[in-house]
Structure 1
Amino acid sequence: MTSKNKSSLANTLKLSSAIIISLAFLQGCTDGGPNNSPVNELPDNGGGNNYSGPPPATDDVQRFQTHFWNNVLDKCGNCHNEGGQSPTFARQDDVNLAYAEANTVADLNSPVDSRLVAKVGGGHNCWLSSNQACADTMTSYISNWAGDTASATTEIVLTDPPTLSDPGATKTFPDDPALFQSTVYPLLEQYCAGCHADSASTPISPFFASSDINTAYSAAKSKINLDTPADSRFVVRLRSEFHNCWDDCTSDSNEMEAAIQSFSDSIQVEELDAEAVHSKALTLLDGIPASSGGRYEADAIATWQFKAGSGSTAFDTSGVEPALELTLNGEFNWVGGWGINLNGGSARGSTANSSKLHDLIKATNEYTIEGWIAPANVTQEGPARIVTYSGGSNTRNFTLGQTLYNYNFLNRSTNSDANGQPALSTADADERLQATLQHIVVTYDPVNGRRIYVNGEYTGDVDGVEPGTLNDWNDTYVLVLGAETDNNDKWSGVIKFLSIHNRALNQEQITQNFEAGVGERFYLLFNVSEVIDPNDTDPGVNDAYIVFEVAQWDSYSYLFNAPFFISLDDSYTPNNIPLIGMSIGINGKEATVGQAYRNIDMALDSANYNADSGQPVSTLGTVIALEKGSSSDEFFLTFEQLADQTNVRIEAEPLPLPTPPDANPVSPDIGVRTFEEIYATLSQITGVSMNNANVRNVYLTVKQQLPTKEDIESFLSSHQMGITQMAIEYCSALMDDTSLRSSTFPSFDFNGTVGSAYDSAGRDALIDPLLSRVMGTGLATQPVTADVKTELNALIDRLTSCAGSCEAGRTVKVAKATCAAAAGSAITLVQ
């Protein structure tokens, strides 16, 4: 392969992301202390540690003092002070001199590339239990200092991968867990089930010692290295970390290694077909990091990126002190590619550190909650608490929640109650919330009130509450993810990113953050030079690649997205090169599912090629199953044809479809209306708006006990009770609205006594218009009108038996009951 001058020839893609950095090292120092820095709301000329030196000479020094210097004094000041180790960026005699020193180790244009970030990320004087969290926090300190100086868009330089190798023979986990069950599992079951089993008294994820062998096998795969059993996490934990040894750690680790070796020895090696047309192979870590840079975060006051991957702490890496660390408890697990999965668990901050949200948001009277989340399902209600800053089930400052397909946003202001009610919710018919990864943003400001954005788009749901101030917020409340503070109203799902800003982001900023994406991503450059030019006759082809953006999507899969072709030689242009039937390979074989690119039939040519950005191959993305783990899985590409080389795939004949089972001969011809249909139907019957406050509150309360399926065989008695409550509330709203009831029942005397109002003519004046609305007229199938009237008249007889002793207002009460009996009956329910 020809070499090239990367500074002049490397193609750069201006993408919202951060480039992998070459680490440069500072002089070492190992002293430091815990982070107890005060909240820095605004530049204050004071400085930390009772600073009494010369004031900041410029506005930039002032920003340096407020956002960086104050925060690193207790972390780096024991060494990097005046008279201490160079660089003296934490000196306390003169903040201007500290500023000059800090500029030698901080990159204000690209904070993530700063040498300070590299050092703490490598473990140098990290003040947290996670080196990654220290690196992210240091990046935020520098970003906050840089302000508008930091480039929102950084360049990604595509360079040759470190190695160029053909796909190798490799072992993969068999689908059947039987071999695992007979080799490794007995040790796990015997010695690890006390913690790593879902049935343990205090279950700890992952559950590789579960009594369910499929669950155990799935959880154990990422801890086993089939190619080098000694490197398996199970072995390392015993041999080097002395974790839960049951006898002697050395002998125990040897026993575990032998079990894994036995498991590995019984697995057949996967070898790629010799006729395959393939690219060179890469692991995920051979790629160029494409972290989620390019975000707007100038006003972020708390940020959680969930990069730790282990432990029980989610670190706030916003750089705004005090750091609002969250303690994870209950049923949770870390998600590969960054994130936490809450399934009955929660993440909680302390009252003291949560108070920074109160202080910094009240100062601006506006805020934003921004997250990348994936709800576990669309059946959660309560609303289930995704993020809440509250004091209990009935008091809060704010809550972002879920009710079925809806996002709910509660905010306490001077125009709401203490519970943040009434809530702003996305419209039922829009079904904005889906059980997939979504970018959700909610904003509040005193001009626009509350707004909701999903995947970068404003939902259009208008806040019915007049905007007020946040003066009534309480600073003793606690921030919780996944549950209410009393552990009720739990929410299940994955949170991959969360940030709280003390400004309301505008549409442009929200779009920018949505497009920046989330999670740990890489650009994988699959070299195809030898396929296109096997005889090495064209030097420009030596740097030819098909590039994917690849992310570990979750703990079980990878996302491959939007491939494009490019040469790192700016002088090269493709000339009508056929590209047909591309597939993704993993560990010596083509992946069995997720092959979204096999229908590609195109040519790489000069008309569609750009020297800077290459030529798009596809706009599609696909998911490939994880096998060994992100550090071990080896990827490559295969082709039916690329240039002059071909290996046409012959698909196997599909198995014949089995004989379908007999249809249920007694399947009912009728069904029932579902919850949202009942809600809308009762509104049409009564003329009462679905947004009536009392009706809406009852609906949200009983919705979970209304039918969710149209199958009549799934109907329960509890469903009928929910329908009855809805009908009563709708009919009460109808009868209490004098204008609406007069137009609906123009001939009925609502002011008369029960004796006069419910004579024969009066009953017809009430019942006939009611049945016209409930039943309709002239339908092919409907109840017999006379039978329904008989039932309603019998009800009226019982309710008016008090005769002359009836209390005041009895006439309207009987009308409500008659309306509810008709509207809440099978007439409304059955369809």
Structure 2
Amino acid sequence: MTRLAPALLLSVLALTGCKTGDSTESLPNTGTPSNAGNYNGPPPATDDVQNFKLAVWDNLVSTDRCGGCHSTGGQSPMFVHADDINVAYAQANTVVNLDDPGRSLLVAKVAGGHNCWLSSDQACADTITSYIEAWSGNSAGSVKRIELKAPAIKDPGATKSFPDSSSDFKTLIYDPLLVPFCGECHVEGIQTPYIASENVTTAYNEAQSRINLENPALSRLVERLRYDFHNCWDDDCAMSADIMEMAIEDFANELDTDPVDPDLVTSKALTLLGDGLVANAGGRYEDNAIALYEFKAGTGYTAFDTSGVEPALHLNLTGNVEWVGGWGIAIGGAYEDEQTGATVPNGKAQGGTSASRKLHNLLSASGEFSIEAWIVPGNTTQEDARIITYSGSSTARNVTLSQFQQNYEVLLRSSTADQNTAFSTADGDNRLQASLQHVVVNYTPSQGRRIYINGEYTGDMDPEDAGLLNEWDDSFALVMGNETDGNSLWEGTLRMVAIHSRALTESQIKANFDVGVGQKYYLLFSVSDLVDIPESFIVFEVSQFDSYSYLFSAPFFISLVDSQEPSGIPVKGMRIGINGKEAVVGQAYANLDMTLDDDEYRPGVGQPLSRLGTIVALEKGPEADEFFLTFENLNGHDHVRTEPALPAEPTPSNGPETPHIGIKTFDEINASMSRMTGVSVTHPDVAETFATVRQQLPSVETLGGFLASQQMAITQMAIQYCDAMVNDTTLRGSFFPDFDFTESANTAFDTDGRTSVITPLLDNFVGDNLSTQPTDVDVTDELNNLMDRLTTCTGSCDADRTATVVKASCAAVLGSAVTVVQ
């Protein structure tokens, strides 16, 4: 790990707030930089200086961003120097990391709350990262190697965590310090974080991520006073910082630690956010991303566009939209608020028409695009549900990605495609699943629309010729989870969305899928004291999977000392511990039994332990949950595990008798009706009806789950099959060889005529010698009663009544239990 040079440290310390004393930072406007591009100084000395100007300087020079302080005659570093772009370039190089833009000191400063022009520090940091990536050329997504660094070593159970009750926080920090000295700004409606909210629970939740229980001096609440001189209530900011630090120390001293069973063989302990090493170090292709949503804010009513392409196309969250842990938003339907009684409308995330215009300008100019998203559909029964749309109404659009049951659909306005005609994944492929999926929609002038699921092309060919996008409307808005009118709800979770002005290649799509989604960390669990090898760790890749769990995967052993290698070290029965105890579920590595050896070990890379991943339940949150590993045997350190005896098997109680018969499922019903009538399942009218009612037909064979709605769907299928058969003169002639369809219904259904209809139905539809089938007499009586009613006409029956009576008789038998029950 490299050390910062003294001059660079001075630059970092100089990146402090412009205001001191009792002032506070306000949130400036969020639009395009007001004076971007207004430069009249010496020309850029090199192409790299010009790239810096276009990518970084133009976006940050505005006085409502960084130009108010770090410009000509202002604070050092003057990386937005207004009079000489070459000076600004030289200064900027002291606070950026072109090899890894996300680790730039400029980014870290803004992420810590310094002069962010948005309501989310993370959004500002991500946006500046995009600016630096555009300058460095790193946005093409070249995969960078992660430099593993040893974390602080601490024993399991020594970490304190925030209690559920906010009473001590209220007494020691909230009442004496936050309310009187932060209450003018850090409350709802003025400025985040809401650490002085009138609701102490809200303030407690907001303050936890800014309090370090292990080292109060490193708390953000302290550092803002001590180093940024932010809103000090004393003439001496150091004194204010000391008072805040002592209050946090008093609060921390009231908390207990979580003890660990001393008999366990354990690694050292880590927390995700405090000790984890960020693993997202590149690999994504985002060269042409013009709108990017990673949903990192986690709070508030805005999803920020952090692509760095101005104007920023931020989305306003309205209705039933909730933030999801591990980055994401969940969109749901309207509901009645139990506390207020008010109706919360369908959720959606919508951008303004003015900012959305950049999609029109850039995509219609390039003539191609990619829409990329990580999504989790709420179910597989939604129809015409808008996932992502750039549209003006439910019938006017430029492009839409939609869900229709288990299909993805793309609707597009072009010179050759109708904006309301969907291009869909194939019926029956069931591409859309109610699980996390990576979806990419490509459009190019040569190939038209293509859909990729989890890195793979679906194979569906666009039926329309590829055309131009010059007919796009620039007055539309980007919407996610709905239409502009709020009446085309899509229920599900969005984890990431990117819109690219160039279509991604198949290799780029695969690379973006392999990178995954959400913030990932490496957790380095120290085992040096157990294996007698210095700087030895078992490393996991860990992410917050959702609001309720963590994902642990790809564990490997490594020593950070390249000259050290393991030899014959047994590893058996590894388990994950959380907050002083082994996790109740998620122990996918409990059966691990292997040897660490130099034959399998590679210096600098390590030795893989397993390809498995596992889910561990979240308890206190990523800031507070403490993890460690336990072992049944590691290098001779044994823990004899005694599994509890299994309880005696209880005597089964006699439940209700299980029926001996069941119900055919949807595909079986369709196949049976086709075989009985001779009508192909591909018949256009039959196929259309089946696609419409398929979700309504039985999906399980359990008789007790049969519903009236399923009978209605079966009846529709029976009517369609019988209609198709009777309308086909060849099929009906084969099925009813002795019946005269040309005769009037008044006379056609005499005794012989009825026999000519009923007998074929009994022979072809009703089984023989089955204990549960109706008798031929019962079926005949029912059909005679039906024919009596249908042939009672005032005067002469209509000419088509004869065929109608046969169709109805056919459907009555085909749609009955004789076909459905098995």
Change (3 A) 1:170 1:568: closer
Structure 2 match to 1:254: none
1:34 corresponds to which of 29, 33, 36: 29
Counterparts of residues 227-626 of structure 1 (less than 5 Å): 270-284=258-272, 285-291=274-280, 293-344=282-333, 345-376=347-378, 378-413=379-414, 416-421=417-422, 423-425=423-425, 427-428=427-428, 430-533=429-532, 541-626=533-618
Q: CA separation in 1, counterparts of 2:207 and 2:611?
A: 30
2:145 is paired with a residue whose SS is strand
- Quote how far apart the aligned CAs of 1:68 are: 4.1
Residue-by-residue CA offset, 1:172-201 (whole Å, 9 max, x unaligned): 899xxxx9799999xxxxxxxxxxxxxxxx
Q: CA deviation at 1:617?
A: 1.1
Alignment of 1:723 onto 2:714? yes
How far the C-alpha of 1:127 sits from its partner, in A, is 1.4
Between 389-398 and 613-622, the greater mean CA deviation after superposition: 389-398
* Greater alpha carbon shift after TM alignment, 487-496 vs 691-700: 691-700
CA 1:127/1:262 → structure 2, altered by over 3 Å: closer, same or farther? closer
Residue-pair matches, total = 737
Report the Cα offset of residue 115 of structure 1. 4.0
Q: How far apart, CA to CA, are the structure 2 residues paired with 1:824 and 1:549? A: 55
Does structure 2 retain, via aligned residues, the 8 Å contact 1:451–1:463? yes
Task: Give the equivalent residue in structure 1 for 2:133.
Answer: 143
CA contact (8 A) 2:11 2:94 kept: no
2:153 matched to which residue of 1?
Answer: 164
* Counterparts in 2 of 1:676 and 1:501: CA distance versus 1, 3 Å: farther
| Compared CA separation, residues 53 and 358, structure 1 to 2 (3 A) | same
CA spacing shift, 1:229–1:164, aligned 2, 3 Å: closer
For the 8 Å contact 1:381–1:704, the answer to whether it is kept is no
Structure 1 residues 303 and 793: CA distance shift in structure 2, 3 A: farther
- CA drift of 1:813 comes to 5.4
The 1:87–1:458 alpha-carbon spacing in structure 2 relative to 1, beyond 3 Å, is same
In 1, distance between residues paired with 2:466 and 2:750? 51
Residue 138 of structure 1: SS of its match in structure 2? helix
1:133 shift after superposition:
0.5
Deviates further, 811-820 or 718-727: 811-820
Specify the alignment match of 2:181 in structure 1. none
Q: What SS class does the counterpart of residue 159 from structure 1 fall into?
A: coil
Q: Does 1:669 align with 2:666?
A: no
For 2:442 and 2:117, locate their aligned partners in 1 and report how far apart those are by CA, in whole Å: 33
Identity of paired residues, percent?
52
Query: Whole-Å Cα distance in 1 between the matches of residues 736 and 279 of structure 2?
Result: 67
Please list, as runs of the form range in 1=range in 2, the aligned pairs for 1:715-794 lying within 5 A after superposition: 715-729=706-720, 788=779, 791=782
Aligned to 2:110: 120
* 800-809 vs 607-616, greater mean Cα deviation: 800-809
Looking at structure 2, the residues matched to 22 and 662 of structure 1 have their Cα atoms a distance apart, in angstroms, of: 79
The CA distance in 2 between the partners of 1:739 and 1:468, in whole Å, is 44
Per-residue CA deviations over 1:654-681 (Å, capped at 9, x if unaligned) read 333443332212x333333445554565
The AA in structure 1 aligned to 2:583 is: A
Q: Which runs of 5+ in 2 are unaligned?
A: 4-8, 19-25, 171-200, 231-246, 334-346
Query: Per-residue deviation at 1:308?
Result: 0.8
Query: Any conservation in 2 of the 1:581–1:597 contact (CA below 8 Å)?
Result: yes
- 1:447 Cα deviation after fit: 3.6
- Which residue identity lines up with residue 628 of structure 1 in the other structure? K
AA at the equivalent of 1:110? D
Q: 1:172, 1:226 within 8 Å by CA — same for their partners in 2?
A: no
Aligned-residue offset at 1:707:
3.8
1:654 equivalent to 2:653? Answer no
SS in 2 for 1:608: coil
Say whether the 8 Å CA contact 1:348–1:480 is kept in structure 2: yes
SS of match in other structure, 1:359: helix
> Structure 1: which amino acid aligns with 2:655?
A
Aligned partners of 1:811 and 1:22: how far apart in 2? 97
CA contact (8 A) 1:109 1:149 kept: no
Q: Highest relative contact order (Cα 8 Å, sep 6+), 1 or 2?
A: 1
Amino acid at match of 1:641: N
How far did 1:576 drift?
Answer: 0.5
Structure 1 pair 521–356 and aligned structure 2 pair: CA distance change class (3 A):
same
RMSD: 4.8
Partners of 1:368 and 1:442 within 8 A in 2: yes
Verify: 1:131 aligned to 2:131, yes or no.
Answer: no
Correspondence for 2:631: 639
Flag the 1:122–1:225 CA change in 2: closer, same or farther, 3 A: closer
Which of 618, 622, 636 is the aligned partner of 1:630?
622
Please give the secondary structure, in 2, of the residue aligned with 1:155: coil
What letter is aligned with 1:118? A
Instruction: Give me the whole-angstrom Cα distance separating, in 2, the residues matched to 1:673 and 1:221.
Output: 55
Q: Go from structure 1 to structure 2 and tell me whether the alpha carbon gap of 1:749 and 1:270 turns closer, same or farther (over 3 Å shift).
A: same
The 8 Å contact of residues 184 and 263 in structure 1, kept in 2 or not, is answered as: no
- Structure-2 separation of matches of 1:683 and 1:664: 35
Contact 1:303–1:499 (8 Å) recurs in 2: yes
CA shift for structure 1 position 167:
1.6
Question: What SS does the corresponding residue of 1:360 show, helix, strand or coil?
Answer: helix
Once the two structures are TM-superposed, the CA of residue 291 in structure 1 deviates from its matched residue by 1.9
Aligned-partner Cα distance in 2 for 1:117–1:754: 84
In structure 1, how many angstroms separate the alpha carbons of the residues matched to 2:84 and 2:724? Answer: 71
Q: Is the 8 A contact 1:292 1:517 kept in 2?
A: no
Alpha-carbon distance in structure 1 between the residues aligned to 2:680 and 2:47: 56
CA distance 1:568–1:57, shift in 2 (3 Å): closer
Classify 1:119/1:829 alpha carbon distance in 2 versus 1 (closer, same or farther; 3 Å): same
Say if 1:108 and 1:149, in contact at 8 Å, map to a contact too: no
* Structure 1: segments with no counterpart, 5+ residues: 1-5, 9-20, 40-46, 186-215, 242-256, 534-540
The CA distance in 1 between the partners of 2:406 and 2:10, in whole Å, is 46
484-493 or 816-825, larger mean C-alpha shift: 816-825
Cα deviations by residue, 1:746-778 (Å, 9 ceiling, x for unpaired): 998878876798888887887777777756889
C-alpha distance after superposition, 1:99-145 (max 9, x if no partner): 67656654444332334433433333321111111111112223234
On the 8 A contact 1:585/1:635 being kept in 2, the answer is yes
SS at match of 2:102: helix
Q: Deviations over 1:278-327 (max 9, x none)?
A: 21222222121112621011122211111112111110111122212112
Q: Which one of 134, 143, 154 corresponds to residue 144 of structure 2? A: 154
Question: Which deviates more from structure 2 when the two are superposed, residues 21-30 or residues 454-463?
Answer: 21-30
Write the letter of the residue equivalent to 1:608.
Answer: E
Indicate how the Cα distance of structure 1 residues 792 and 70 shifts in structure 2: closer, same or farther if over 3 A, else same: farther
